Structures are given as structure tokens and as C-alpha cells.
């Protein structure tokens, strides 16, 4: 197809993204300038300009997630807006991927420097090749573990991770200038959110966070899984610091389901309720992620969760409660009522706690917590603290 057609498709995609969110003028210009198709050789032009992720390398162990992919363009745009890069910034990107995001960063920091690293040799070579083809030879691409020190161009004004991160490594503190900005898909209690943080001495303080999903970074294996069925059709995912007894949970579904509970909160079709999960993590260390396969739902092994692949759940010994919903036509604008399904001896109590989290979210559905991250050896600020290996996350509303 002609270059004119590519330009038309690119501009149409950006126009569509602009209907979803406001973008800084510099980010909009970068998205309209960088040819995404160049970074996705072999992909149909129309597919290069749809708002979806594109896998460029499958995971070698055959896992469900790819090793590397081109992120959803609207998510890319959102994270670039969070980064707030300046023309003369020195930027580090962790997770080179296709090279597309590095090209966008080069447009934003056109008077500065951009370094992109990737642990996989094939991915790093792909990024280097496509960046050269698109005319971004000045972007430095290194085959490097992004969790380690990238000393060649350090220190950096901005660090941006385009892979899911469970913990802030100590090396990033030594590379980010005081007053510098870090944007990353941060994972805690089973959810992933793109968090924008500014460094103030020994603290990183958030001013934005949005739900997202990313391939996890290689080298941080601090999430665990407990099976509630022998086949793994129902499972919970939890963090290493959480007191979850996987053997006890194996018998949870053997108990008859509890009555559960229903909240006063209702939602309309397409209305997001992920804030319930976020709100719960700011005060409750029992929050995990429940995953239920479609087969388990069809076989009626459990009451259907609000989101079968990823619903917040509270775990206590051999009991759990998780987010569910039912249709109540009394309010045609918001016909779906949020509630808690529960199993196990302490299920009813857990359901009531989950309802309290739902109601707290419902009182201010757009509220976001203030996240403060400190190195593990320093004292955390006031608030609910989540322990990682190298850092502490403190959340406070």
C-alpha cells in the first residue's frame, strides 16, 4: 500500500485515541510521526494501526504470555503522557520490544538521548534493525538485563519500563536523577497499573496510575499460585509476602458456597469497577487475584466471578471471597449490582470485608491513592505498606 494510506491509517488511529483521552501536543505529534508499520515487518498495514498488541516473539517455555510484543497503542500513548518527557531529557527504556516506543521517545526527547535495553538478543536486534530502518539511528540499543545498571548513559532524567515490574530494583535508584520521573507497569496484589512517580531524595511519589497489562520482566519471580481444583481450572495468584496456605486452599471448594453478600453499588454496561481492587489493596493484605477458566464457569464449579480471568479475592486460610455481580433491572442505567461470593468456614466474614471495600470505592469512584515507594532499608511513610524484596510500597487515600 502507498505511504499515503499508511499516513491515513496512522492519523485515524491517533484520532481514535484522542476520543478516549487527552494527550499532550508533543505526544500526539510523535504518534502521528513515527511509522508503526516499520517496527512490525510482516504485519498487514491495517493490523499495524489497530488498537491492539502484536506479539513479536513467543515465550520459549510455551507459556501463555509472549516474551515480547508491541504494546496496545492507546496504552503506549497513556504512558508517554505520564512520562512527561522534555526535549533535552536523557531517557532509559527498559524493554526495547519492537523499537517503536524508543522511536516515540526519540521524537519527544529530540535534543536529548534515548537508550533502550532488552535482555533477549533477538528482541534487541529486532529493535536495532527497525529503528535504523525508520531513521532513528541515534537511539542506543543494548542487550542488557534491565534490572541491572545501564551505566553507559546514566544518570537519567526519565526511566520508562515497558515490561511488568513487581519490585523497584536498587539499581534504578542509582540511575534516576533526583527530581527525575519513573513510569512503569507496577504489579501488586495481582493487579498491574501504569504508575508515574517522581523522585524526591529517597522516595518516589506517584501522581498518576492507570490500569494496564504487560508481559512480566524476566528475573522477578515473586508471585505464587495456589490451585483450588486438581486441574487448575480455579486458582489464586498471590505475592511472596502474603500469608497464603496453598494446601489449605486446595479444599476450599469442597465446602458448600456461603450465602455471600451484596453491596449497594451498581454499575452500567461497560462501566469500570477495577477501583474496588485498588481500594482494597490500600488497607488489606489478604487481596489476591482469582482466575477461573471458562470451563470451570460452565461446569458451575464456582459462582461466576465479575471477571473470570482476573477478579480480586480475599483469602484467609481455607476460605475466600471474591467479587461477583448480578443483574437488577430496578435501575436501567446501572443494572448490575456488585457483591461478594464466598467459600469456606470464614467465607461470610471475608464477604463482609469485601463489601466494605466495594462501598468505600463507591463513595468516590475516581479517587486514587497516593503511592510512595522507598528503598527497603529506609523507614516507610505513614500508610498501608506492602513489602517487596528491594523496596516498600505505601498506599494512602
Active-site residues: which are they?
71
CB 118 within 8 A of CB 128: no
How far apart CA 115 and CA 105 sit, in angstroms, is: 10
Among the listed residues 384, 387, 379, 380, the one whose alpha carbon sits nearest the alpha carbon of residue 395:
384
370-375 sheet: strands from edge to edge: 140-143, 113-118, 90-94, 156-161, 176-188, 191-200, 203-211, 370-375, 391-396, 384-387
Among the listed residues 90, 114, 89, the one whose alpha carbon sits nearest the alpha carbon of residue 101:
114
* DSSP labels, 347-375: HHHHHHHHHHHHHHHHHSTT---EEEEEE
Residues in the chain: 397
CA atoms within 13 A on the CB side of 288: 30
Among the listed residues 393, 390, 374, the one whose alpha carbon sits nearest the alpha carbon of residue 203:
374
Who contacts 103 (Cβ-Cβ below 8 Å, separation ≥6)? 34, 39, 131, 134, 136, 139
Torsions phi, psi of 332, nearest 5? -65, -25
How far apart CA 27 and CA 265 sit, in angstroms, is: 37
* Mutual angle of helices 121-133 and 100-108, in 10-degree steps: 50
How far apart CA 71 and CA 99 sit, in angstroms, is: 11
Cell of 388: 517487596
336-343 sheet: strands from edge to edge: 223-227, 234-239, 287-292, 311-316, 319-327, 336-343, 261-267
How far apart CA 81 and CA 75 sit, in angstroms, is: 10
CB 131 within 8 A of CB 115: no
Among the listed residues 347, 348, 303, 341, the one whose alpha carbon sits nearest the alpha carbon of residue 322:
341
Amino acid at each position: 500500500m502507498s505511504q499515503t494510506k499508511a499516513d491515513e491509517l496512522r492519523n485515524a488511529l491517533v484520532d481514535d485515541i484522542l476520543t478516549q483521552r487527552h494527550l499532550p501536543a508533543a505526544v500526539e505529534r510523535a504518534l502521528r510521526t513515527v511509522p508503526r508499520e516499520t517496527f512490525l515487518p510482516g504485519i498487514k498495514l491495517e493490523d499495524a494501526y489497530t488498537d491492539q498488541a502484536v506479539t513479536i516473539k513467543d515465550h520459549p517455555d510455551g507459556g501463555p504470555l509472549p516474551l515480547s510484543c508491541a504494546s496496545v497503542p492507546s496504552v503506549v500513548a497513556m504512558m508517554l503522557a505520564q512520562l512527561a518527557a522534555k526535549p533535552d531529557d536523557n531517557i532509559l527504556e527498559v524493554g526495547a520490544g519492537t523499537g517503536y516506543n524508543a522511536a516515540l521517545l526519540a521524537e519527544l526527547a529530540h535534543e536529548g538521548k534515548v537508550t533502550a535495553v532488552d535482555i533477549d538478543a533477538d528482541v534487541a536486534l529486532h529493535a536495532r534493525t527497525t529503528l535504523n530502518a525508520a531513521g532513528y539511528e541515534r537511539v542506543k540499543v543494548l542487550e542488557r538485563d534491565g534490572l541491572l545498571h545501564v551505566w553507559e548513559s546514566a544518570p537519567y532524567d526519565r526511566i520508562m519500563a515497558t515490561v511488568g515490574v513487581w519490585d523497584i530494583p536498587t539499581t534504578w535508584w542509582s540511575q534516576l536523577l533526583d527530581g527525575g520521573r519513573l513510569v512503569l507497569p507496577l504489579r501488586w496484589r495481582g493487579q498491574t497499573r501504569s504508575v508515574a512517580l517522581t523522585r524526591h531524595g529517597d522516595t518516589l511519589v506517584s501522581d498518576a496510575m492507570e490500569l494496564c497489562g504487560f508481559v512480566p520482566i524476566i528475573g522477578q519471580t515473586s508471585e505464587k499460585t495456589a490451585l483450588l481444583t486438581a486441574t487448575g481450572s480455579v486458582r489464586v495468584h498471590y505475592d511472596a509476602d502474603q500469608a497464603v496456605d496453598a494446601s489449605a486452599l486446595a479444599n476450599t471448594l469442597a465446602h458448600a458456597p456461603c450465602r455471600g453478600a451484596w453491596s449497594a453499588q451498581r454499575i452500567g454496561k461497560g462501566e469500570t469497577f477495577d477501583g474496588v481492587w485498588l481500594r482494597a489493596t490500600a488497607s488489606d493484605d489478604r487481596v489476591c487475584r482469582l482466575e477461573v477458566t471458562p470451563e470451570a464457569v460452565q461446569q458451575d464449579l464456582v459462582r461466576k466471578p465479575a471477571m473470570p480471568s482476573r477478579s480480586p479475592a480475599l483469602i484467609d486460610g481455607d476460605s475466600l471471597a471474591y467479587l461477583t455481580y448480578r443483574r437488577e433491572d430496578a435501575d436501567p442505567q446501572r443494572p448490575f449490582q456488585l457483591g461478594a461470593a464466598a467459600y469456606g468456614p470464614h467465607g461470610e466474614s471475608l464477604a463482609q470485608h469485601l463489601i466494605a471495600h466495594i462501598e468505600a470505592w463507591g463513595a468516590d469512584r475516581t479517587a486514587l491513592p497516593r503511592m510512595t515507594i522507598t528503598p527497603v532499608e529506609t523507614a516507610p511513610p505513614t500508610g498501608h505498606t506492602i513489602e517487596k524484596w528491594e523496596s516498600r510500597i505505601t498506599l494512602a487515600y
